[in-house]
Every structure is written in structure tokens, then in C-alpha cells.
Amino acid sequence: MSKSLRLDKVAKHFGSLVAVDEVSLDIEPGEFICFLGPSGCGKTTLLRLITGFENLTSGDIIYDGKVINHLPPQKRDFGIVFQSYALFPNMTVKQNIAFGLRMRNIPQRLIDERVDEMLQMIGLAGWQDHYPAQLSGGQQQRVALGRAIAIKPNVLLLDEPLSALDAKIRVRLRTVIKRLQQDLGVTLIYVTHDQEEALALADRVVIMRDGRFRQIGTPFEIYKKPQTSFVAEFVGTSNFISGLRTGNHIQCGSRKFTVAGADGVGVDGDSIHLAIRPESIELVGSKLDIEDCTPENIVETRAEVINFLGAVVRITFLMEEEEMFIDIPEKDFEKMALARGDKLMLHFPPEAFYAYTEMFSKLI
């Protein structure tokens, strides 16, 4: 029932600023797509282009095989949920949900039915006569969702819908959104700067930076195979080590790492940037035998700071005077009874490294 949506070299310039830079993407019917990126990366502008609130500078937006560049937002058949909820404060929950239906001159009987159905769906049955100011933030966002869905849109667009909410409610509403999308089979485009949210929700994640798509893939691909150092840094946590390529090894200061995935990344003498996830680094000891390790990838160091994060414990250590992290499961940590200053023997598995020739500029 949903229809395909295609972005073809979509660009938006504000004066000399290029907010969105010729991006292309095919969105399958019923797909859950997340635009993920830091603030100012152009993700909200791109969403506004799709909704029709902004006009394209160049490129095409193609919906159901038709170019819709000049179609006003009212005719686009899209439901939109805003970061600030944007409920009509002068209307009750019921009137808010009914608004889009009223605009379509649907008979009152059908409106009432549809509103009741929506109230059930968003779990706010019985709240229809409340005004938005009388609802909590989470409830308000549910109404906003119900209001957008009521008009039976084929595409739902959500602009950071959860960022104004408390952490707990955020996680709970995430599930609500995911389930609604699956039940309705609607195409959903979701903009967020929260990588956890994007990975948890999306069928495909689009990583954006400086108006361009940096990587498109399933959450698993994005997390496990970050194609650029930026993606490795922005999604999840990564330790970065810089070094020089010498034959099949990467020379980092006094160390020479064996890196499995570095073939074809740079030539001899090039500087190479390695990234490794904190949870991919292994503690040599109880579980891991030293014989199973790649000897040149073993690092001896000390625990500088220990942070208890719940399921995992993050230990900060120094390597070549750079701060790095290792995450170990809380249960393992408990067994080993590590303390600050204790010696650590760490193994960097060759296949756990990502190697890049470029390094994105950190803003810090």
C-alpha cells in the first residue's frame, strides 16, 4: 500500500551555504529509514525538502513514480511529527487528531470513528477532552503521532520526535513508534542525532555530515563496518590510533600492529588511522589464553580510570600517551576484581581494527 520515494541528486543552498549537497536515495515502500548526523549536517533541511516546506535548489524528489518537487505540503500525502510536538494548544486531544480529517471534509461519523481508533492505537483512550497543556511531554508526542497517522499518510516523517523527552520515556516511545510502523506498513523517515535511537529503530541508517550521505546501511553494517573514520567515531565509541604503513603492518610509535582489514588501504609509507571499538579489545587472562593472541598486538598498560556503566565497565588506559577505552562485561570485571593502577594485558585482535587513510577533523 505504501509507495516508493526516491531522492535524485537533491540539493538545497541557503545563499552560499550548501545545506544539502546532491544526495540520492531509494526508499522502499514500508521501509524505516533514519537520517543520522550531528547538528547542522543538513538532516532536518532534507526532511523539510521532502515535506515541501523548503524548495529544492536542484534535483528531484520522486514519489510513486512522479516528480513532486512543486507539490505543496498539503498534497504530499505525508504525515509529519515535529520535535516540539506542535500540537494546537487551543484544541483538545480529540480536536487535534480530527484536524487533518476535518481539513479533508470527511463526514463527522467517520471522523469520530477514526479518532477513537487513533486514541486506542496511541494508548490515550479517555484523554480525548484534555488540552495539550494538561498532558505530559510523552503523551503530547503520542497525540502528535496519532494526529499524523489519522490522515492515513503513505509516508510518515518524524523530525527528532523524542529529543525533548526524558530518557526513560524516550525508550518507551521508541518501541511505540517501531510497532506502529510495522503494524501500519507505512514508510517512515526518521531524523535524529541520537545514534542509539537510529540503530535501534531503522531498517537502514543514513549517516549525514556536511550535507552529504557518508554511509547508508543496516544498523549492523553501520556499526560493524564503518566506511569512514567519521562514521566509526560518530556511531558507537571508537579508539583511534594513527600510524604509518610499513609492509603489512601499521607502525604506531614503538608498536607494530598486525591489521587484518588493512589490505588495499594506502601504500607503504602512508599514514593510516586505525579505529577499534572498546568492546573489541580483549583482556588477556582468565578467559583468553596468551597463546591465542597475535603477539605483536599485545599491549601492557595500567588501568587509569574505571567507570561503571551498568552492563559494562569502561576502563581508561594510556597507549603511546593517548587515552583509550576498553569495555568489559560487568560479570567479568567482578571476577577479576580490577582496581585503579592495576596492570592490564590487552589484546587488539587484528580483525577488530578498521583502517582509514583519512581522518575527519574532530571539533573538540
Partner 1 sequence: MGSHYQETAVVGNYQVSSARMEMDKFIVPAVTICISALLFFFMLFPIFSILKLAFFENGELALSNLTLENFYRYFTNAYTLNALWHSLYVSFATTLIVTVVTFFFAYALTRTTIPGKGFFRNIIMMPLVAPSIVQALALIYLFGRNGLITAHLFGTSWNIYGPTGIIISEVLYCLPHSFVILYTTLSAVDIRLDEAAESLGASPLKVFTKITIPSAKYGIVSAAALTFNLTITDFGNPVVIGGDYNVLATEIYAQVTNLYRFELGATISIILLVPSLMAFMLNYYISRKSFAMISGAANPFIPPSRPLKKTLYTGYCSGVALSIILVFATVIIGSFVNIWPYDWTLTFRHYDFPSIAGYSALWTSVWISLVVGIAGSFVTLVAAYIIETKKPFGKQILYLFSVMPAAIPGLVMGLGYILAFNKPYYIFYGTPWIIVINIIICNFTLGILSSISNLRNIDPSVEEAAISLGSDTIRTFFRIIFPLSRVAFLQNFIYFFMRAMTTISAVIFLVSATVHLAAIEIIMLDNDGWTASANAMCTSIIVIVLAMLGVLQVIVKLTARRPGTAPV
Where on the chain is the footprint of partner 1 (CB under 8 A)? Answer: 51, 53, 72-75, 78-80, 82-84, 86-90, 99-101, 103-106, 110, 113-114, 117, 120-121, 130-131, 133-139, 144, 147-148, 151-152, 169, 179, 182-185
For partner 1, the closer of residues 152 and 255 by Cβ is 152
Least distance in angstroms from the C-beta of 192 to partner 1? 16
Q: What is the nearest approach in angstroms of partner 1 to the Cβ of residue 48?
A: 9
Closer residue to partner 1 (CB): 56 or 80: 80
- In the complex with partner 1, the residue whose CB is nearer, 136 or 248, is 136
Closest to partner 1 by CB, 126 or 264: 126
**Measured from the CB atom, is 18 or 106 closer to partner 1?**
106
CB closer to partner 1, 87 vs 344: 87
Give the residue with the Cβ less far from partner 1, 159 or 282.
159
Cα 103 from Cα 98, distance rounded (Å)? 9
User: Distances in Å between the alpha carbon of 8 and those of 17, 21, 27, 40?
Assistant: 20, 11, 11, 21
CA distance from start to end of the chain: 46
Query: And the C-alpha cell for 86?
Result: 506542535
Angle (deg, nearest 10), helices 108-121 and 93-103: 130
Q: How far is the CB of 359 from partner 1 (least distance, A)?
A: 37
Which 3-state string (H, E, C) describes the chain? CCCCEEEEEEEEEECCEEEEEEEEEEECCCCEEEEECCCCCCHHHHHHHHHCCCCCCEEEEEECCEECCCCCHHHCCEEEECCCCCCCCCCCHHHHHHHHHHHCCCCHHHHHHHHHHHHHHCCCCCCCCCCHHHCCHHHHHHHHHHHHHHCCCCEEEEECCCCCCCHHHHHHHHHHHHHHHHHHCCEEEEEECCHHHHHHHCCEEEEEECCEEEEEECHHHHHHCCCCHHHHHHCCCCEEEEEEEECCEEEECCEEEECHHHCCCCCCCCEEEEEECHHHCEEECCCECHHHCCHHHEEEEECCEEEECCCEEEEEEEECCEEEEEEEEHHHHHHHCCCCCCEEEEECCHHHCEEECCCCCCCC
CB nearer to partner 1: pick between 183 and 268: 183
> Closer CB to partner 1, residue 184 or residue 250?
184
Let me know: does 169 contact 137? Beta carbons within 8 Å.
yes
What minimum distance in Å lies between the beta carbon of 323 and partner 1?
38
Q: Which is nearer to partner 1, 74 or 307 (CB)?
A: 74
Shortest distance (Å) from residue 242 CB to partner 1: 43
Smallest separation (angstroms) from partner 1 to the CB of 101: 7
The minimum distance between CB 202 and partner 1, in angstroms, equals 19
Nearest approach, Cβ of residue 67 and partner 1 (Å): 17
Q: How far is the CB of 162 from partner 1 (least distance, A)?
A: 15
- Closest separation in Å from C-beta 276 to partner 1: 41
